[in-house]
Structure formats: structure tokens, C-alpha cells
Amino acid sequence: MPSLTRDEAVARARLLRVDAAEVDLDLDRGAEEFGSRTVLRFTCHEPGADTFLDLAPVRLHRVVLNGTELDPADLADRRLPLTGLAAENVLTVEADMSFGHDGQGLHRSTDPADDEDYVYGHLFLDAAPRVFACFDQPDLKTPYTVRVTVPRHWSVVGNGAAREVEPGRWQLATTRPLSTYFVTVCAGPWVSVTAEHDGVPLGIHARRSLQDALRANAPRLLDVTTRCLDGYQRLFDIRYPFGEYHQVFVPEFNAGAMENPGCVTIRDPYLFRGAATPDQVFAVDNTVAHEMAHMWFGDLVTMRWWDDLWLNESFAEYMAYRMCVEVLGLDEAWVEFGMVRKQWGYAAERSPSTHPVAGSPAPDALSALQNFDGISYAKGASVLRQLIAHIGDDAFVAGVRDHLESHAFGNADLGEFLGAMARAAGRPLDDWAVAWLGTAGADRLALDRAGTLTRTVPADHPARRPHTLDVAAFAADGAPALRETVTLGADDDTVAVPGLAQADVSALLVPNAADLTWAEVVLDEATLAALPDTMADLPDPVARQVLWVALLGGVHRGDVDPRLLLDVVDAAWAREDQPTVLQRVGLAVTGTVAPVFLPPDEAPDALARMAAAADELAARVAGASGSEADGTALVAARTSARSSTDVARLRGWAAGDGLPDALVGDDDFRWLVLRRLSALDALDDAALAEAEAADRSLAGRLAAHGVRAVRPTEEAKTATWDRLRDDASLSNYEALEIARGFWASPDPDLVRPYVGRVGDCLARLDDRMGEDAVSRVATALFPLTVVEDATLEASAAILARDDLSPGVLRSVLDADHVLSEALASRARFDPR
């Protein structure tokens, strides 16, 4: 199946203007197929010219162009030729389509809690032809009028205000001009909470079985929504442009959320049915802010071609964190950004697949998807922070307003965005843009005791990026000793830091202490040695986060012995007060450091140390009250549930005994405990069956897959592998959950026989699921816990295959790099 090329899109956009689209969907034909009727009205600027339509039906019944019947048999590779176009054209297409079960197209999912079905449209990046006939490219925007037929007890939400015109028949208001990938329809027996703010009707919707969770979460979600709505309207000086604003929590969603204008779709695990830690709540609030930012940047003004997709995401990423601080008052936002998002981006920068923020060639649509990563989000947002440091916030906001007003309901590219910024700043930004946007790689910053900040440029990606940042020194007791803002010019490899040479020899030195720039921090030996004794006493949470990220990054780069990280965890983790830091460090130790970077015989001790730290953290907040203490107790309990070998306590927790108050009756925590018991081979089939009977929810069904996958027996691994490879009924979420658990094993011998089978399994999955879904499974299915040269050889064989999609190969390449990092770390720090 060919992917639309940029050249084809440019030619078609030059030829056509799409004036209107009418889409009629019949979703009441059963669980596998739906009816689709499309009427497109479009202008051809060169009458008599030829082009093609994008369409991916199960059956194509009828195509009529300007009153003339076309032959449905002419459809090939999702393209239908259109010849001899008139100046004004009307095209009618009637087809049967297939519901998706991989999170793409019109996805249909059955809720096992009550056997009700739900449907939602996710048309990113090129899935629109799976739902309706279209010219599928972002710069052919048009208004959409959508009608939907559904079972009579269902309701419908979409881009336009929906009303039921007769039983089971819904009409959606005609939208403002939209790109094809923004069109969505969400249908099912939703439960809803509605409100209105500043003239904008608001709705929050979820599956019927999540009604209690919806009611519990809705007040906070509506509060965040209304405050962000006010904040963005103030900042951009443009009213919300898409009528109603709905947020639909949908099942089996591949990403976090999607910014469909007027109808945002969000993965429904974000609608907490049990206890949530503060960092989990923040992640949802930030997602709400992120998707709303897109209503202006991405939806009102859309990139012309997919190679500027990064700008949509970088802008929304930056704006969401800005809103969290300035409007929601969440001071921890930039700590979370550094701890979660920047770590993701730095990992992408270290991989062979690294790429510039902008200017990466996207000759076709699918190639753009491969660069949809932590560089597009976190690095891009960091670059925008550097742009603000370079031109000032007033100029930045003025430039954004100019850009949005100039291209409203249309398309724009990076050059036009930078032009608006340059006009507002009153100076050219060409050199700055080349340095920050046109080059790959992250500089490394190191601070020495003589008072010199040194920048090391990646050898494979030389660039001259200017940095505006600060550096800090902290005394042995954690007291601030020095803080200086410095500018490292594009032509400078070093810069002197005033006063640093006079700092105490035992001081902690922290480059980029406020985390303002994009660069990996390399800590000097004295600072590394002092961290176990000093980290917990630092009063600055951002500086502590920078140090934690530097430690974790150093482990991956082979600069820091993972055992030193464990020493810092022993001494400082339980005294940390930032929920995101607690959660992410705990996950890194249990999920990567212990099973990947340490040899198998040291992994149990690492987990035991993490479990002891979790007990210490729990003891620190025992008896305390308030949301902060409750959140900390949750992190402690979950970390313990991932690392403990105390089978008696774990079984007690599974039975509901001895739990923190917030976790009593929490099904998700019970499944986490059962997963750990299964990994310890301390869970029998009867206990698992009892848990499944007690929790018939979608979340419970998925968790049970994971519990079976981690069981360290030959029979369990064989059954798990065979199901993943052969069961075509598995949804995208089920396949991912199985893959996430498979390689868990205290003994590599148990799973080593499967290392050479990964490529064949991925090829089977690639045949029955979309690239987006299989790419995520490929990351989880990579044999990262079998840290051997033979695994690297097996990975090379996968990368040499020609039967895997580009996105899947990209996931394998990135995981292969982590394996190489682990091998290098073990060679340096454990050369046995």
C-alpha cells in the first residue's frame, strides 16, 4: 500500500480546493462492518485534469462523479483514479468499511463489564480513508457535515454539536474547515457530564461501566478545562473557534489523547477508577491543557505537510506546561517536564535514529510518523523555551498571535511561523533556527571546580547551539552557595562562571540547575561522590530533578555505575518530596536498572534495596494526613508491590489486608500485587481465576493477560507466546500487555529460546494490526532483559528484514540501542 508522497500532495493541493464534505455513517450493521456514504464537492483549478481519491473499503458499491458512474474495480492500493475533472465537481461514494480493533480508523471495542460496544474515530495519520472517501492530506481542509445511524440506546459525540433527529439517527452541525485527520465520531451508550462556560458548551463522556469514575473525576476535569479555556483565550487573544468542547474517554487508545477539534479523545485509563498519585493527576491535567492548546495551534492553524508535525506538538507541549504553572498553579510542572518528558527526549537523542527537530525529510506520510517521538515533543518544547530566552516572552506571544490570525482555518509551515517570530522580535532568526531546529543531537554540559562550564558537541552531529542557562553550587549541607545565569554563545566551547572557583571543594556543582536549556548534564566526580550524602538536603526541587536525570542518563551513557544510582536511592529517595521524581526513579530501578543494566545475579539485591526504600518512604508518612501524604503512601505501596519478595505481605495485600486506606478496594493495585506474585511464581490458577471473576472490567481483563505473561514457567511462556503470535482476536491493548510481561524472568535461560523468534512474531502482528499499534508492541517485545551479544545479533537480523513496516523497524532500532548501552555499561562496570 503506497503512502501519499509530499510531491503528490503538493500537486493535488495545487489542483483542488475541497468546498464541502458530507459523510453519512451507518454504525448499526453489526460488530464488524459499517456503511459509509460520502459526498465531496470540490473545485478543480485545471478543468480536464486527473487526480485520485483516497479510500480503503471492504467493498466499494458505487462511485458517481458529476453524474457519471465510475467503475469500482478501478480502486487499487486505496486509490481511485478521477479523470477529466470539471471546474466544479460533485463526487458520491458508497462503501462498506471495516471497524478497526487496533486503535486506528473507526475503532470498535466491547466492554467486558456489560458487553456494550463503543466506537470512536482516530484518523491520525492516514486512517481517514478507512472511514470515508477523501483527499487525505492536511492542507485540503473543508467543512464537514456528518450524519450517523446507531443503535437506539447509543448517543453520538463529534466535531460538530450533535442532536438526535429521530431514534438512532444523529445529525452533527457543520464544522469549520478541518483536515481529514481531525474528523471523529464517538458513539456508544456513553455516560456524560455537561456544563457551559463563557458561552461554550462542555461535555465529558465515558463508558457506562466507568460512570462512578466519571462522576468522581468530572469536577476537577471541568475546572481544569474552564481555567485553561480562559487562559488560552487571554494569551492568544482569539476566542475558542470550534463551538462545543467535548472530551471523550475512549477504550484501547494508542496514544495519550488526540486533539480532534471540538471532540478530544483521551485514553480512558486516565479516568481513574481507584487511587491516583499526584503525578498521575498532573499527567491528566497536563493532557487536558495540551489538547486544548491544539485547538489554536494545530487545529485552527494546521501544518501544510507532515514534516512540520513537530511544531504542533512542541507548541502544545510547551503551552500545556506553561498553563499548568500560570493558570493551574501547579508549581511542580517543570519538575515533571524534566523528569518525564526530557528523559524521553534525551533517550531519543542518544539513539541512532535521532533527527533534527525540524527539517527531517518526510517524503511520504508514514515516514513522518517515524519521527513522532520525544524529540518532536520534549526537545521542541525546550527549544521554544530557548527561543523565549532569546527574543523575550512579549515578542514570542506577539509572534504567536500574528501567526494564528494570519493563517486562521488554514495551513502554514515553519518558515511562516519563524517569519511571525522575527517580525515580533525585530530581528532575523535564521541562524538561531539552523542551530536549534536544523541539527540533531544534544550537547553535554560539564562544570569543573576551576569555574569553567564546558560544552561538548555530539561528534556525529556537530552544531553550534547558543545556550542561555544557569549554574548552581550547593554546600555539603544542601544550602545554596552560588547561582549564576550564563550564556554559552554559538562559537563558545567554554564560559567562565564568576565566583565558582571560590566554592567549597565539597560543593555539589549543577550545570543547567533551572533546567532551562536542552543539554545532557555530566556531573564531575566530586559531585557524584557527594550525592548519596547530600542529594536529599537540596532545597531546590528542579535542581534535584536535574541531578536525578543526570544520574539516570549517566547510567545509560555508561558514565555512571548503576550501583552508584542505587546508593543514592538508598540515601535520598525516601526523603524526596516530588511525586514525579519518586515515581519515575522507582520505575527506572525496577523496570530498567535492575533487569537490564545489572547482571542477573545482582538484580534481586537491587529490587530488595528498592523495596526497603519504599518501606522507609511509607514509614516517613505513616500517620500523616492530607493529599500529599496520601499520594506519597501510594507511591511507596506501588513501588513495594513492584519490587518486594515478601510473599506473605503481598498475599495479604491481594486479600485486602494491611493496605493503606487509599488502596482499600482498589482493583488496579490488587492487579499490580498479583502481577508481582505471579512473577515470583507464587500465584496459582485458582487465585487468578478468582481475581478475574471479581473484576470483569476492561482494565481487569488486560491486567490478567499481564499476570499470565510474567509467570516464570516454561508452560506459561509457551502459552503466552503462542497466543500473542497466533490469536488474531487480540486487540492492540491486549497484545501490548502480553508483550510487556513476556520477558520478565529471574532466569534468562527461560526466555532465551524466544530471542530469535521476535522478528517472525512481529511480522505476524504487522499483517493484522496497524503500524502505530505494532510499533508499540515492538518496543515491549524486544528481548531487552537478555543482555547478550547474541541478542544484539538477533536484533540485527530483525533490522535486516524486509517484511516489517518502517515504524516497527524504528522501534526495534531504538530498543537495540538501549541493549547496546546495557552491554557497554556491564563491560565497563562489571567486566566478568
**Average pLDDT estimate for 424-453:** 93
Residue 119: strand pairing partners: 108, 187
At residue 460, the pLDDT reads 87
C-beta of residue 319 within 8 angstroms of C-beta of residue 393:
no
C-beta of residue 186 within 8 angstroms of C-beta of residue 119:
yes
Core vs surface per residue 147-167: b (16+ CB within 10 A) or e: bbbbeeebbbbbbbbbeeeee
Q: Give the pLDDT confidence of 126-165 residue by residue, as tens digits.
A: 999 999 999 999 999 999 999 999 999 999 999 999 999 9
SS3 159: coil
Lookup: cell for 417: 511561523
Lookup: cell for 490: 554559538
At residue 369, the pLDDT reads 73
Confidence of residue 61 (pLDDT cuts 50, 70, 90): very high
Q: Give the pLDDT confidence of 455-504 residue by residue, as tens digits.
A: 999 988 888 899 999 999 999 888 888 999 999 998 899 999 988 877 77
Q: Give the pLDDT confidence of 542-571 residue by residue, as tens digits.
A: 999 999 999 999 999 999 999 999 999 999
Which residues 6+ apart lie within 8 Å of 523 measured at CB? 446, 509, 531, 547, 550, 551, 554, 560
Statement: residue 696 has pLDDT above 90: yes
Confidence of residue 331 (pLDDT cuts 50, 70, 90): confident
Which residue out of 116, 291, 349, 734 is catalytically annotated?
Answer: 291
Q: Of 310, 15, 785, 534, which Cα lies nearest the Cα of 318?
A: 310
Percent of the chain with pLDDT over 70: 99
Q: Of the given ranges (356-365, 587-596, 688-697), which has the lowest mean pLDDT?
A: 356-365
State the CB neighbour count (10 A cutoff) for residue 364. Answer: 19
Statement: residue 73 has pLDDT above 80: yes
Q: Of the given ranges (57-66, 507-516, 621-630, 761-770), which has the lowest mean pLDDT?
A: 621-630
At residue 556, the pLDDT reads 98
Which residues 6+ apart lie within 8 Å of 503 measured at CB? 449, 473, 481, 482, 509
State the CB neighbour count (10 A cutoff) for residue 403. Answer: 24
At residue 1, the pLDDT reads 60
Q: Give the pLDDT confidence of 652-668 residue by residue, as tens digits.
A: 999 999 888 889 999 99
**Across the chain, what does the average pLDDT equal?**
95
**Average pLDDT estimate for 395-407:** 98
| 291 in catalytic set | yes
Q: Give the pLDDT confidence of 287-300 residue by residue, as tens digits.
A: 999 999 999 999 99
State the CB neighbour count (10 A cutoff) for residue 124. Answer: 22
Rounded Cα distance, 252 and 229, in Å: 27
Task: Let me know if 724 is exposed, middle or buried by CB neighbors in 10 A (0-12, 13-18, 19+).
Answer: buried
For 80-152, where are the alpha helices, taking DSSP H only?
none
Q: What is the per-residue DSSP string for 712-737?
A: -SHHHHHHHHHHHHH-TT--HHHHHH
Statement: residue 397 has pLDDT above 80: yes
Q: Of 374, 332, 367, 331, which Cα lies nearest the Cα of 351?
A: 374
Q: Report strand pairing: 494-496 vs 33-44.
A: unpaired
**Average pLDDT estimate for 358-385:** 84
Question: For 238, which DSSP code?
Answer: S
Statement: residue 365 has pLDDT above 90: no
Q: What is the pTM of this model?
A: 0.96
The number of angstroms, rounded, from the C-alpha of 281 to the middle of its chain's C-alpha atoms is 16
At residue 550, the pLDDT reads 98
Statement: residue 832 has pLDDT above 70: no
Statement: residue 170 has pLDDT above 80: yes
Residue 693: strand pairing partners: none
SS3 446: strand
Confidence of residue 539 (pLDDT cuts 50, 70, 90): very high
Q: Which residue bears the cell 576551576?
A: 450
Rounded Cα distance, 266 and 252, in Å: 10
Statement: residue 702 has pLDDT above 90: yes
Q: Give the pLDDT confidence of 778-828 residue by residue, as tens digits.
A: 999 999 999 999 999 999 999 999 999 999 999 999 999 999 999 999 999
